């Protein structure tokens, strides 16, 4: 298993190009199940394991998917299967997104109950309730979810919580269901707006994607399309926070600052100088960060996926900061590992209080999930001495060629096989 060896304490200086968004590419690739015509999805982070798993999922359902650099071409090979294999779903929770398109097109879908990251319970009741409101029935429940419907009926839906996955799943189901479906209480993440743009290219009419009310005019038959995925705001945010922790001057290209307002605002309050323009963000940090408390929330709030990186930054603050997690349970697994590097964090329930220290020191540490892994990497870049991070496969789920990108900004990060 790979490890990352980081010689910390060097400022980040240079330019990093941001990849396409993993969380936008996943539903868009899965939405190609809605049509028999060819689709090309560009700017996909195809080096990421979750994208490879998605490609395998499409193939297991009967599509042919060809990866060429960062684009994925998806074509039909005949009829589609309506059953997602457990072996794939257990590796990637987002596989459940195949349910919406398949149910709407074929009136039947069977998906194993998903696995995925070890953060909290992550139920899928909002997805299922939504399908039921569109007229589907749940016919069995033994480790698998089976949903059936002679046909789905478009109509109004209201979500009890703005779940990103449920919003996407229901938008896809609605796109292949003739008539008008209104999803209120929808998630507002930029990835949802991107999916809406793709579904519109397929021939559905989607308005309000990216607001809390999404209206989808579905069609029985959808066509093929070509689409370039938006930049990964979480990857960009991670590098910005890394530069604030390690100091220096970092420029991100192919990034969208409009998707990172809450994070850029918090960074400025720590004392970082952040400049933005069309497609780029630049950060300069020369001193220890001021403490800035944050509370995660659905978009446009502070993203839960950057909570662990933010906690890592606050371990170096000139005072106390409070970090509250409101989206997922059990998302402070990085606290214990950061403590091994000298961080002072008291985590209890959904809140962590971080007392900033002058410096962290390198240590052998272990990534426990994707974003906790990113937090450890940030701490390692800022720490004095050498840090060895094991279980790097967690980090590889969300960050393409992370050591190469960081090396371009002067970091000393090496992968050991
Ligand atoms: C997506 C992102 C993930 C991000 C999260 C929140 C992808 C592939 N993943 O995950 O990186 O951290 O949004 O921004 O896009 N919930 C329920 N019932 C449901 C669905 C969700 O209770 O049916 C709860 C979850 O347990 C969680 C919260 O709602 O506590 C948020 O989940 P959701 O927005 O659905 O996140 P994902 O789509 O899984």
Q: For 11-69, what is each residue's pLDDT tens digit?
A: 999 999 999 999 999 999 999 999 999 999 999 999 999 999 999 999 999 999 999 99
Give the Cα separation of 300 and 123 in Å (integer): 23
Topology classification of domain 22-228? UDP-n-acetylglucosamine1-carboxyvinyl-transferase; Chain (3.65.10)
Residue of 372, 400, 276 whose CA lies nearest to 17:
400
**Whether pLDDT at 116 is above 60:** no
- Catalytic annotation on 39? no
Residue nearest to atom 30 of ligand 1 (CA): 328
Atom of ligand 1 nearest to the CA of 124: 23
Please give the residue that has the higher pLDDT: either 387 or 120: 387
What stretch of H or E contains 344? strand 344-348
Is 94 a pocket residue for ligand 1 (Cβ < 6 Å)?
yes
| Whether the Cβ atoms of residue 179 and residue 218 lie closer than 8 Å to each other | yes
User: Residue range 332-343: average pLDDT?
Assistant: 94
Strands across the sheet containing 412-416: 364-366, 385-390, 3-8, 412-416
* Level-2 CATH architecture, domain 3-19+231-416: Alpha-beta prism (3.65)
Reported residue count of the chain is 417
Q: What angle do CA 200, 203, 206 make, to 5 degrees?
A: 35
| Whether the Cβ atoms of residue 309 and residue 243 lie closer than 8 Å to each other | no
Residue of 180, 193, 189, 177 whose CA lies nearest to 104:
177
| Whether the Cβ atoms of residue 154 and residue 170 lie closer than 8 Å to each other | no
DSSP string of 74-89, one letter each residue: EEE-SPPPSB--HHHH
Give the Cα separation of 42 and 251 in Å (integer): 23
Q: Which residues contact 125 (CB under 8 A, 6 or more apart)?
A: none
| Alpha carbon separation from 305 to 135, 321, 328, 373 (Å, rounded) | 33, 18, 10, 11
Q: What's the pLDDT score for residue 114? A: 64
Q: Determine the distance separating the centroid of ligand 1 and the alpha carbon of 91, expressed in angstroms.
A: 16
**Whether pLDDT at 122 is above 80:** no
Sign of CA dihedral 202, 205, 209, 212: negative
pLDDT in tens, 275-328: 999 999 999 999 999 999 999 999 999 999 999 999 999 999 999 999 999 998
Residues of the chain with CATH 3.65.10.10: 3-19+231-416, 22-228
Is 160 a pocket residue for ligand 1 (Cβ < 6 Å)?
no
Q: What's the pLDDT score for residue 86? A: 86
Is 165 a pocket residue for ligand 1 (Cβ < 6 Å)?
yes
Q: What's the pLDDT score for residue 139? A: 81
pLDDT in tens, 69-106: 999 999 999 899 998 888 888 888 889 999 999 999 99
Residue nearest to atom 26 of ligand 1 (CA): 122
**141 pLDDT tier (thresholds 50, 70, 90):** low
Q: Which residue has the tokens 């001495």?
A: 385
Q: Give the largest CA-CA distance in the chain.
A: 64
Q: What's the pLDDT score for residue 168? A: 98
User: Residue range 372-383: average pLDDT?
Assistant: 97
Give the Cα separation of 219 and 206 in Å (integer): 11
Q: What's the pLDDT score for residue 117? A: 43
| Whether the Cβ atoms of residue 2 and residue 392 lie closer than 8 Å to each other | yes
Give the Cα separation of 240 and 285 in Å (integer): 10
Is 127 a pocket residue for ligand 1 (Cβ < 6 Å)?
yes
The number of C-alpha atoms within 13 Å of 146 and in the hemisphere containing its C-beta is 5
Give the Cα separation of 288 and 258 in Å (integer): 26
Q: What's the pLDDT score for residue 84? A: 87
What is the percentage of the chain residues whose pLDDT exceeds 90?
88
DSSP single-letter state for residue 62: T
Q: What's the pLDDT score for residue 329? A: 81
Q: What's the pLDDT score for residue 89? A: 85
| Whether the Cβ atoms of residue 190 and residue 259 lie closer than 8 Å to each other | yes
**123 pLDDT tier (thresholds 50, 70, 90):** confident
User: Residue range 252-275: average pLDDT?
Assistant: 98
Average pLDDT, the chain: 94
pTM for this predicted structure: 0.96
Sign of CA dihedral 26, 28, 179, 167: positive
Give the Cα separation of 166 and 128 in Å (integer): 8
Is 23 a pocket residue for ligand 1 (Cβ < 6 Å)?
yes
Q: Which residue has the tokens 């701490």?
A: 379
DSSP single-letter state for residue 259: G
In 30-159, which ranges are E strands?
Answer: 39-42, 63-68, 71-76, 108-112, 137-140, 144-148, 156-158
| Alpha carbon separation from 212 to 23, 77, 104, 193, 262 (Å, rounded) | 19, 37, 23, 11, 18
Atom of ligand 1 nearest to the CA of 328: 30
Is 365 a pocket residue for ligand 1 (Cβ < 6 Å)?
no
Identified catalytic residue from 25, 41, 96, 117: 117
**Whether pLDDT at 213 is above 50:** yes
Give the Cα separation of 101 and 34 in Å (integer): 5
Residue 9, Ramachandran bin (φ over 0: left; ψ between -120 and 50: alpha; else beta): left
384 cis-preceded (ω within 30 degrees of 0):
no
The pair of structure tokens assigned to 257 is: 């600052």
Q: Which residues contact 155 (CB under 8 A, 6 or more apart)?
A: 133, 134, 179, 181, 182
């Amino acid at each position: 298993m790979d490890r990352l060896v980081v010689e910390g304490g060097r400022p980040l200086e240079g330019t990093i190009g941001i990849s396409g968004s993993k969380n936008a590419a996943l539903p868009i690739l899965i939405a190609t199940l809605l049509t028999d015509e060819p689709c090309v999805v560009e700017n996909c982070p195809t080096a990421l394991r979750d994208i490879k798993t998605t490609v395998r999922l499409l193939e297991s359902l009967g599509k042919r998917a060809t990866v060429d650099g960062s684009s994925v071409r998806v074509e039909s090979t005949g009829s589609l299967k309506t059953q997602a294999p457990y072996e794939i779903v257990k590796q990637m929770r987002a596989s459940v997104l195949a349910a919406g398109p398949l149910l709407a097109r074929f009136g039947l879908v069977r998906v194993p109950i998903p696995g995925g990251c070890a953060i909290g319970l992550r139920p899928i009741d909002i997805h299922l309730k939504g399908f039921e409101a569109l007229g589907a029935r749940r016919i069995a429940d033994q480790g698998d979810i089976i949903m059936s419907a002679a046909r789905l009926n478009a109509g109004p839906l209201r979500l009890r919580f703005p779940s990103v996955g449920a919003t996407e799943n229901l938008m896809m189901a609605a796109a292949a269901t003739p008539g008008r479906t209104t999803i209120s209480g929808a998630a507002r993440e930029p990835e949802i707006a991107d999916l809406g743009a793709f579904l519109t290219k397929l021939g559905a009419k989607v308005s309000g994607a990216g607001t809390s009310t999404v209206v989808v005019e579905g069609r029985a038959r959808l066509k093929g399309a070509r689409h370039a995925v938006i930049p990964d705001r979480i990857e960009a945010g991670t590098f910005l926070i890394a530069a604030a922790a390690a100091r220096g001057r970092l420029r991100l290209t192919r990034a969208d600052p409009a998707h990172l307002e809450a994070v850029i605002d918090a960074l400025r309050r720590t004392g970082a100088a952040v400049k933005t323009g069309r497609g780029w963000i630049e950060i300069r940090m020369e001193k220890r960060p001021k403490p800035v408390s944050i509370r995660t929330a659905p978009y446009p709030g502070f993203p839960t996926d950057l909570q662990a990186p933010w906690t890592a930054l606050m371990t170096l603050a000139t005072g106390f900061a409070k970090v509250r997690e409101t989206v997922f349970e059990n998302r402070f697994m990085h606290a214990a590992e950061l403590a091994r590097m000298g961080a002072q964090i008291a985590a209890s329930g959904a809140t962590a209080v971080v007392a900033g220290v002058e410096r962290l020191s390198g240590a052998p540490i272990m990534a426990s999930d994707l974003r906790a892994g990113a937090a450890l990497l940030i701490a390692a870049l800022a720490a004095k001495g050498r840090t060895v991070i094991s279980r790097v496969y967690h980090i590889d789920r969300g960050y393409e060629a992370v050591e190469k990108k960081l090396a371009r900004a002067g970091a000393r990060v090496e992968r050991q096989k």
